Amino acid sequence: MRRRGCFSRRPPFGPTRASGSNGSTSPHCSSVRSDGYPPPEPLAARNGLHPNDLRALIALLDAARAERPVPPGRLGEQLRLNSAGTTTLIDRLERLGLVRRDRDTTDRRRVLLTVEPQAIDLGWSFFGPAIGTLLTAMDAFAPAELDTAERFLTAMTTAATRVNAATPDP
């Protein structure tokens, strides 16, 4: 049985590391990623990144792994940045060689963000050691148990998203 979502064996940092793997990491594991992995601040500081830059890279790496195109506006919404802030952030990441802007092949008016191999390597170098430990922990569960956990996390994420959408910003 194929493991899905955050319970897949697919590495979390893009297709270049996933030789022969299947599945994708779902957003349901963000708490596992943030609590179970090393804190991201040292990675950001060590690489001259602003915390929002790192948040953007993680969002873009997640989208790349899921083969989901990301226009700048969607990234800005996800990070809760205005248009000017999003443009500044993307310009910074582009100067660092971590992302590039590409024209959408189906709609030339639309721009999509693409992570560069350097960004994948950066994410892998920082989070990679924790990934092996998490995958080993998964081996203790049968596929049916992982499916149940995935359904539960999907329901909780959906409920939390509804609550967050209904809660006004401070």
Asked if residue 111 is part of any domain, the answer here is yes
Asked if residue 169 is part of any domain, the answer here is no
Q: In the predicted model, what is the mean pLDDT of residues 48-66?
A: 88
List the domain range (segments joined by +) for residue 82: 5-15+29-158
Query: What's the one-letter identity of residue 156?
Result: M
CATH number at 103 reads: 1.10.10.10
Asked if residue 165 is part of any domain, the answer here is no
Q: How far apart are CA 34 and CA 31, in angstroms?
A: 5
Closest residue by Cα to residue 49 from 129, 118, 101, 103: 118
Asked if residue 22 is part of any domain, the answer here is no
Least confident of 15-24, 58-67, 105-114: 15-24
Torsion, Cα of 90, 68, 54, 118 (10° steps): -80
Number of domains in the chain: 1
Tokens, residue 30:
């963000």
Q: In the predicted model, what is the mean pLDDT of residues 23-37?
A: 48
3-state secondary structure at position 111: strand
Q: In the predicted model, what is the mean pLDDT of residues 96-113?
A: 93
Asked if residue 21 is part of any domain, the answer here is no
Alpha-carbon distances, residue 41 vs 11, 19, 44, 46, 52 (angstroms): 21, 29, 5, 8, 10
Asked if residue 74 is part of any domain, the answer here is yes
pTM beyond 0.85, yes or no: no
